[in-house]
Amino acid sequence: MRIALSQLNLHIGNFEGNLAKMLTAVETAKAEKADLICFPELAVCGYPPRDFLEFDDFIKRCQQSVAALCEVSKDIAIVVGAPTRNPVLAGKDLYNSAYFLFDGKIQAVQHKALLPTYDIFDEYRYFEPASEFKTVAFKGKKIALSICEDIWNLGNENPLYTICPLDEMMPEKPDFILNISASPFNYAHAKTRIHTVKANVQQYQIPMFYTNMVGGQTDVIFDGGSLVVSPDGQVFDELPYFKECLKVYDLEEVMKGGIHREQAKDKIHLIHDALVLGIRDYFQKLGFQKAILGLSGGIDSAVTAVLATEALGADNVRVLLMPSQYSSDHSVNDAQVLAENLGIQYDIVAIKSVYDAFEAALATQFAGTTFNVTEENIQARVRGTLLMAMSNKFGHILLNTTNKSEMSVGYGTLYGDMCGGLAVLGDVYKTEIYALVKYINTLPIGKYRMEGVIPQNSITKPPSAELRPGQKDTDSLPPYEVLDPLLFQYIEQRQGPNELIAQGFDEALVKRVLRMVNINEFKREQAAPVIRVSAKAFGMGRRLPIVGKYLS
């Protein structure tokens, strides 16, 4: 038997586009003599559809796509994910299902049993869990058909669930496992995913064919990396990351094993590729073309400009240099050098006169007060207003350049430097950005510059918002090499104050930093969507009350 895995970049609600991609893949698989082709979880509608699932018409169109695929299944079996209506009055209205299509008919439907409701997942909001499990007979083989999370409770060891779907199928003695997935990216998840697939294969002593989705869905990235694991527990093959791919495997060859094709997984390389894909798909799937951002001469805006240029092309990226009376000459120069290195359009719009107009307008009200964060925020908001004006006038989408360290502690101005349609670096700590710069400066960026695209001065100078004379980030924050490990333990690892102090963090620092994180939740609630690259990104995956008292 020849089995094709098709990892596709699917678009939520784009039924015609998704179906067209799958029909093309079916024809390619047929040409390569495949007997069966697997598509990802909820492939007909894209993942995660969220409250679109509450629209009756949305479900009808999903079923129309399944019917269209059924028509082309006469010479090849098709496994595809789609929502299914629950015919029983009790329970949720829908199942998350895997359809097995062959010979122009629906031969079997297996529903998903384990419905994740954690991090970015909210499947139990929509779906009823499966209660029946049967293998699928096809060409003399028995297939254990499963969906994503259904392989993540091996041995009933996951405390979130009380059933292991594959255990329920094993009495029928299946010959291999098919798993269709929409498994979101974070920089550590690929290794965990491989470990889980291997563990299932070692447990049941049969191979697994695992098909994953690829592509960006606003904040969530799917990385592909579909897998074939032989009965010897080794990765027979691993498909590319962040790219569409179709590949056909001979079951007999997979059964023999002895081949190990696992890819390297460098954290910074993965983050870079995920961010580029996230920007590109955000623009393409929303029908946008051009981006704009403020280029300050610092590394956050520099990295964002490079990533945007890689994703969209130099002709589609424009930057504003907005020096104030507090900006250093080298900041403007560094920004100009970067723009010229990338070949992107840049404009210099000084903000002093606009800032002076604000001061004059408020002179009576501010009389007798001293310069403080208010005046700093006015500068940031002037810049935000100028960027949004350019966005409105020319149809450019503003990219936000705030990093995760700043977003964590509220070191940013609402309606100023926190403006934007997409927060590119909002899940990347400042120390990780330095590592990204090092990686980027080894890459060829288009046809404009080979190595060293980001100027060295942008990398080595102390980080500063340049909103008052001689300002440095360390005037308001601990050094990032101290701050970031503390933030990581609190945000990603969910370590409370006592645990952090026990780890060796200074008690006063812990109280100060955690208070900054918690009292700035209101800013993050209003921030642009953050491209998720870690296991705990701001947004859907981290939901905290704005008015919570904990440590505030």
Cβ burial, residue 352 (10 Å; 0-12/13-18/19+) = middle
In angstroms, the CA 172 to CA 170 distance is: 5
Q: How far is CA 16 from CA 8, 278, 288, 400, in A?
A: 14, 22, 19, 32
Residue of 45, 62, 70, 148 marked active site? 148
In angstroms, the CA 181 to CA 47 distance is: 10
Instruction: Return the bridge partners of 105, or none.
Output: 102
Residue of 21, 41, 45, 404 marked active site? 41
- Token couple for 338: 């970067």
- Token couple for 468: 């008052």
Phi, psi dihedral angles at 79 (to 5 degrees):
-110, 125
In angstroms, the CA 73 to CA 108 distance is: 13
In angstroms, the CA 94 to CA 130 distance is: 10
> Between the CA atoms of 26, 27, 29 and 33, what dihedral angle is there, to the nearest 10 degrees?
130
In angstroms, the CA 221 to CA 204 distance is: 30
Residue of 112, 404, 430, 523 marked active site? 112
Q: How far is CA 444 from CA 6, 341, 440, 451, in A?
A: 30, 11, 8, 6
Residue with tokens 């939520």: 12
Task: Tell me the residue length of the chain.
Answer: 552
- Token couple for 332: 């403007």
| DSSP symbols for 260-273 | --PPP--HHHHHHH
Mark whether 112 is an active-site residue.
yes
| DSSP symbols for 381-438 | HHHHHHHHHHHHHHTPEEEE---HHHHHHT-S-TTTTT-SSEESSTTS-HHHHHHHHH
| DSSP symbols for 260-310 | --PPP--HHHHHHHHHHHHHHHHHHHHT---EEEE--SSHHHHHHHHHHHH
Active site residues: 41, 112, 148
